[in-house]
Amino acid sequence: MNAAFAYDAWYPLAWSRDVGRELTTRRVLEEDLVVYRTEGGSVAALDDACPHRLAPLSLGTLRGDAVECGYHGLTFDCSGSCVSAPGMPRPPLSAQVRSYPTSESMGMVWVWMGDPRRADPAQVFRLPQYDDPTYSVVEGDALPVQANYLSLADNLCDPTHVVYVHKTTLASAGREETRVQHERQGNKVVTWRWVIDGPLIPVFQGLKDFGGANVDRWHYYHYHAPCIAVIDFGSARTGTGAPEGNRDDCIQMYACHFITPIDQRSCMQHWLVLKNSPADPAVDARLRDSLRLAFNEDKRVLEAIQRNEDKPREWKRVHLALDGSSIKMRRIVEEMAASSSA
């Protein structure tokens, strides 16, 4: 099942740490880009194809802030204009490469794949807690997932799968029937559930001492269509008023998932975590390992789903009550795709 892409949106392109003064390639919405950092530190993203013979520009050479094609030497600046063509006093006017607006936020490079006139850097996603000194950042990975990005989006709108998929990391037993609520807020879907008077989940072990007492645990899934999911989850000692808003003495994390749709059958899941406790190399390493395990558990299921979807079979998707938030999310993406342009 192919899904239309919403082009007029900021998409995660790469970790800022992975973009430097060398030519690299990224694929976004089925478009191949050559990406590099200019001498001034900004990020350039161009179509990875020279208009002469379609040789990938990523096979060329970076000269200053311009890319020299590795086949016949045509050279393009970071705006996509050809500034040099060997054997010609002036390059052909038609020798242009499409360039894409970029911006940086939360340790990520973001790219605008649609109409550049609509690209507003002020709209690039940034979670306020990222700049809050009471939170520390645990930067994660870029996890390749061989599945359509909306399948991953379904997963990130869905607290109910946790008890079945993440038994050793994010779940506590016996909570399968806990009520889930959801609502649409503009181009965002919020899905939430509370688990009252239960044990601390494995991934929170060692982060805060509750003296062995049970906790009240929340999960709020904020899905910003088309490609951003922020999961606010945490725990406070049972009976201290967390459901009513008193979370002064709690564990709280924001798991941020920035999804790059590569094509119809693959995507990249960039993730990081903000936690309301100081950075600690040992604690952060343990947390990172636990979350890697959890996200690989999702990857295993989603890739198996994609393999089944790729098989020639007659079938109709069955919807359950728990699918409400993902249905809302997909409807938003469809609306955004219908109103945007490549």
State phi, psi for 143 to the nearest 5 degrees.
-95, 115
pLDDT at 29: 98
| DSSP-derived 3-state class of residue 160 | helix
> Using an 8 Å Cβ cutoff, are 152 and 295 in contact?
no
Euclidean distance between CA atoms 11 and 226, whole angstroms: 8
Degrees, nearest 5: CA angle 5-7-12:
95
Euclidean distance between CA atoms 14 and 102, whole angstroms: 11
- Residue 127: CA count within 13 A, CB half-sphere: 28
What structural domains and CATH numbers belong to the chain? 10-119 (2.102.10.10), 127-338 (3.90.380.10)
Euclidean distance between CA atoms 49 and 97, whole angstroms: 8
SS3 of the chain: helix, strand, coil, percent, to 5: 25, 35, 40
**Beta-sheet strand order (sheet of 24-28):** 24-28, 31-37, 43-47
DSSP letter string, 182-234: EEEETTEEEEEEEEEEEPPPGGGTTTS--TT--EEEEEEEEEETTTEEEEEEE
Euclidean distance between CA atoms 28 and 263, whole angstroms: 7
- Is the backbone peptide bond immediately before 12 cis, with ω within 30 degrees of 0? no
Tell me the C-alpha to C-alpha distance, in Å, between residue 125 and each of 75, 102, 177, 281: 33, 13, 33, 27
pTM: 0.92
**Cα dihedral sign, 196-199-203-205:** positive
> Using an 8 Å Cβ cutoff, are 241 and 21 in contact?
no
> Using an 8 Å Cβ cutoff, are 75 and 65 in contact?
no
- Residue 334, judged by CB atoms within 10 A of its CB (0-12, 13-18, 19+), counts as middle
Tell me the average confidence (pLDDT) per consecutive run of 10 residues in the chain, 342 residues long: 86 98 98 98 98 97 97 96 93 94 98 96 97 95 96 89 65 59 94 91 84 91 97 94 91 96 97 94 92 92 93 79 87 92 66
DSSP 147: S
Euclidean distance between CA atoms 333 and 187, whole angstroms: 8
